[in-house]
Structure 1
Amino acid sequence: MKNILVLGGTGTTGRRIARRLTAAGHLVRTASRNGGDLRLDLDDPATWAPALDGAGAVYLLEPEVRPGPDRQERIPGLVAEAVAAGVGRLVLLSAYGVGEAGDGHPLKAAEQAVRGSGVEWTVLRPGWFAQNFSESFWLSGVLAGTLALPTGDGRTPFVDAEDIAEVAAVSLTEDGHSGRTYQLTGPRAIDVAEAVDLIATATGRTVRHLDLEPEAFVDRMVAEGTPADFARLLTDLLVDVREGRGGEVSDGVERALGRPPRSFETYVAEAAAAGCWS
């Protein structure tokens, strides 16, 4: 029996996918640079073949999107090796806007490699994760009571990572998703101020959004130790929100799952109940 290999198996989407697949009775192996069932380092091709051995389907993601030597070649190289090893289905976590991005974007090359692989493929293009508020980039700001981001009153339809994981899981295991690109968003667009207001109401915490000018945000990140090129990249992505890009609601979750996407309010209620902001 072939297994399903989940890259980034300890991360935001990977661990949720692995949990779903395991609960459904599938043989799952998680892989990451550190942790997981297997070690797979995209910078070390020697780790690829052992991880791919016995895999029939693979969930792929590129964890590093800032420019770097040979970064565009990592996922294409892994895709080629996966197909040669007998993998018959690939699901790629991409991102909003990759379709319009230039060829220098590492996820552009990853999408092209998956589409040209000759096996079944599905591409997922989610917007901003709701879980940024509770598990990663913005959690410290929420806990401190002030989330400082250069987003102004720009609105975006935050998508719940649970929805991303469910779409990935069905794409890895069920027919009908091959050759599809799913734009994944929440059901409505909100701004960061409304998002933190909902968190404040659910938790009883005082949380506010402080709008920063983009250059001030770059300077703050650099002062905190973020490399300047990466600080600029992240700021540009947030400025897209500020300027109204990426605010469209898409039907990808409903197309894939036959139900509407989870609301931001549902995400907040469950994250609060789980103690994410305690």
Structure 2
Amino acid sequence: MDKYLITGATGNIGMYVVEELLSLEKHVKLAVHDVKKAKEKFTDKENIELVKFDFLDDKTFEDALEGIKGIFLVRPPELEHPNKDMLPFLEAAKEKGVEKIVFVSLLGVEKNPIVPHRKIESMIKVLGIPYVFLRPSFFMQNLNTNHREEIRDRDELYIPAGKSKTSFIDTRDIARAAAISLIDEKYRNTAITLTGKRAIDYYEIAKTMSEMLERKIEYKNPSLLKFRKERIKRGTPKEFANVMSILYLTTKLGIAKDINYDLEKIIGREPISFRQYVIDHKNYWIK
């Protein structure tokens, strides 16, 4: 049976990639930091193998890559230097004869040579490993992770996006696209931009969340500088606050508003709507 290595297997895309591949009757190997903790999360799943893995420890590469046909790859946010942090693993994958890497990249990365995702794409190409680069728009799930506390505790969306619109995408749809493109040979050596089915602004987001949560959620819309300062004050690490500020700047400039229909073509159905996402995740914001 073909076996696929999943990095970021407990994350908000990876865990759904695991589910999708299992539903397609594929064997998966989960690359995790803590095998014991991950085992508790996936205890009732068959066709799963857990292996201790760390991008910064090349001693973990051999076991992780043994018998692997393809890799689902995500970059840990804290790894900011791809040549040092990611290249050794990619070289090991090449040496092991991995047949495809599906990498979750970044929307608009082709226009931005500075971000780590662009450098990782380039490294994979130079190594000659067949690839699919998925370039998704903003995740809906950012609202139940990065912005969970402000919504739950303060009834606010503290986001500096102005009146701009964003073609939000549910990570469950990204995961389905990733699983399909990993096992289907018609997806090979290509980069695919993934968006939701419509672009919405944060005023509409606040309105929808207010309706679904049955309480007023207010969109605050601070300046970028005020946003960064307040996020750090609330406990966000300075480096991540900087990344968030840059991403919301791109939103404000209108880079995230475009939509296409490539996602629908891959997954064979309409993308999950924002309203459905809120319904499915209501418990995250209950006080």
Q: Same fold (TM over 0.5)?
A: yes
Match of 2:7 in 1: 7
Residue type at the aligned position of 2:254: G
Q: Percent identity?
A: 26
Once residues 51 and 84 of structure 1 are traced to their aligned partners in structure 2, the CA distance between those partners, rounded to angstroms, is 13
Once residues 240 and 284 of structure 2 are traced to their aligned partners in structure 1, the CA distance between those partners, rounded to angstroms, is 27
Cα deviation per residue 1:74-122 (whole Å; 9 max; x = unaligned)?
Answer: 33322221121121111001011211112x3211111112233333310
Q: Which of 105, 108, 122 is the aligned partner of 1:97? A: 108
Once residues 69 and 20 of structure 2 are traced to their aligned partners in structure 1, the CA distance between those partners, rounded to angstroms, is 17
Is the 2:16–2:175 contact (alpha carbons within 8 Å) kept by the matching residues of 1? Answer: yes
Is the 2:108–2:255 contact (alpha carbons within 8 Å) kept by the matching residues of 1? Answer: no
Match of 1:49 in 2: 62
Matches within 5 A, 1:66-215: 67=80, 70-102=81-113, 104-134=114-144, 136-144=145-153, 145-215=155-225
Give the Å deviation of 1:66. Answer: 6.8
Once residues 167 and 115 of structure 1 are traced to their aligned partners in structure 2, the CA distance between those partners, rounded to angstroms, is 21
Cα deviation per residue 1:143-186 (whole Å; 9 max; x = unaligned)?
Answer: 12112111111110110111100000001111211122111111
Taking structure 1 as the reference length, the TM-score comes to 0.91
Once residues 168 and 211 of structure 1 are traced to their aligned partners in structure 2, the CA distance between those partners, rounded to angstroms, is 33
Give the Å deviation of 1:47. Answer: 1.4
Question: Which structure 1 residue ranges, 4+ long, deviate > 6 Å from structure 2?
Answer: none
Match of 1:224 in 2: 234
Once residues 107 and 129 of structure 2 are traced to their aligned partners in structure 1, the CA distance between those partners, rounded to angstroms, is 23
Distance 1:153 1:94, change over 3 A: same
Once residues 184 and 243 of structure 2 are traced to their aligned partners in structure 1, the CA distance between those partners, rounded to angstroms, is 36
Match of 1:26 in 2: 26
Gaps of 5+ in 1: none
Give the Å deviation of 1:267. Answer: 1.7
Once residues 152 and 238 of structure 2 are traced to their aligned partners in structure 1, the CA distance between those partners, rounded to angstroms, is 25
Match of 1:240 in 2: 250
Once residues 150 and 235 of structure 2 are traced to their aligned partners in structure 1, the CA distance between those partners, rounded to angstroms, is 16
Residue type at the aligned position of 1:79: L
Once residues 62 and 10 of structure 1 are traced to their aligned partners in structure 2, the CA distance between those partners, rounded to angstroms, is 13
Residue type at the aligned position of 1:19: E
Q: Which moved more, 1:8-17 or 1:248-257?
A: 248-257
Cα deviation per residue 1:14-33 (whole Å; 9 max; x = unaligned)?
Answer: 00000111122111111133
Kindly tell me the number of residue pairs found equivalent between the two proteins: 272
1:276 counterpart SS class: helix
Match of 2:75 in 1: 62
Is the 1:61–1:93 contact (alpha carbons within 8 Å) kept by the matching residues of 2? Answer: yes
Give the Å deviation of 1:261. Answer: 2.1
Gaps of 5+ in 2: 39-49
Once residues 71 and 120 of structure 1 are traced to their aligned partners in structure 2, the CA distance between those partners, rounded to angstroms, is 19
Taking structure 2 as the reference length, the TM-score comes to 0.88
Alignment RMSD: 1.8
Give the Å deviation of 1:251. Answer: 2.3
Distance 1:64 1:101, change over 3 A: same
Distance 1:99 1:73, change over 3 A: farther
